[in-house]
Amino acid sequence: MMVFLVILVVSGALIVGALWGAKGKFPDWVQGNLLALAGGALMLSVALEMLQPAVGESGLWLVAVFTMLGAVVFTSVDYWIDTRLKDQGGMGLLAAVTLDGVPENLALGVSLISGNVMQVAALAGSILLSNLPEAAGGAKQMKDQGSSTKTIMLTWIGAAVLLSIAALAGNLLLRDVPRSTLSLIDCFAAGAVIASLATELFPEAFKKSNHWSGISTAIGLVLALGLSQLSG
């Protein structure tokens, strides 16, 4: 039950964000600061909840290799999306969110296997915070380009379903996989998430909220640090 509840809340943020962007007023500075806040929290969560435990399980060299592999794969696919969909506004952002969300949700599903409440809470909270403004921004761009509310909502619901499947796959298909192997999968996902922060989330946050994004990023990181300390 907990698995489905967490996945529902995290993926549901895409639908809520899309509805917000399609129907409501969503100032750019709000979106930018929310993105920066989520990025700071997600950055720390990736380091503390995914990479640091993996070093103890698999050693530094393997962690480094799989983290770099994840970053290279994400960046390569992201570059392809940017060159193919760079003029498609909301659809390009949708593609980026989906690509970003698959490794994030896969890692979330893996973290649910361990039953570590704080790890799950930190990662799920960070993903939720990033899904909401990204979906709102993408839906707003699609609306400005003339897409109907029905088309926008169906598109983002489809994205939410896809990311839910990724989380369920991580939780169900990898349940019997050795912990050392899971740690390397975590590292691959972490590398993809780190690359997405650098190439997608932080540049977008700065573009929309300017230098305030630096402060919001620090706030997100401190909040994630405080949450991680609760498990100590």
Q: Read off the pLDDT of residues 85-135 as tens digits, 9 standing for 90 and up.
A: 655 555 666 666 676 677 778 777 877 776 666 667 667 776 777 778 778
pLDDT at 101: 73
Residue 23 forms part of a structural domain: no
Side-chain-side CA neighbours of residue 136 (13 Å): 23
Residue 8 forms part of a structural domain: no
pLDDT at 216: 93
Residue 136 forms part of a structural domain: yes
Our count of domains for the chain comes to: 1
With 0-12 / 13-18 / 19 or more C-beta atoms within 10 angstroms meaning exposed / middle / buried, residue 16 is middle
Residue 16 forms part of a structural domain: no
Q: Which residue ranges in the chain fall short of pLDDT 50?
A: none
Residue 19 forms part of a structural domain: no
Q: Comparing C-alpha atoms, which of 201, 199, 189 is closest to residue 49?
A: 189
User: Is residue 172 within 8 Å of 179, Cβ to Cβ?
Assistant: no
Residue 18 forms part of a structural domain: no
> pTM for this structure?
0.78
Residue 9 forms part of a structural domain: no
The structure tokens listed for 228 are 């991680």
Residue 4 forms part of a structural domain: no
Q: What is the domain range of residue 151?
A: 28-229
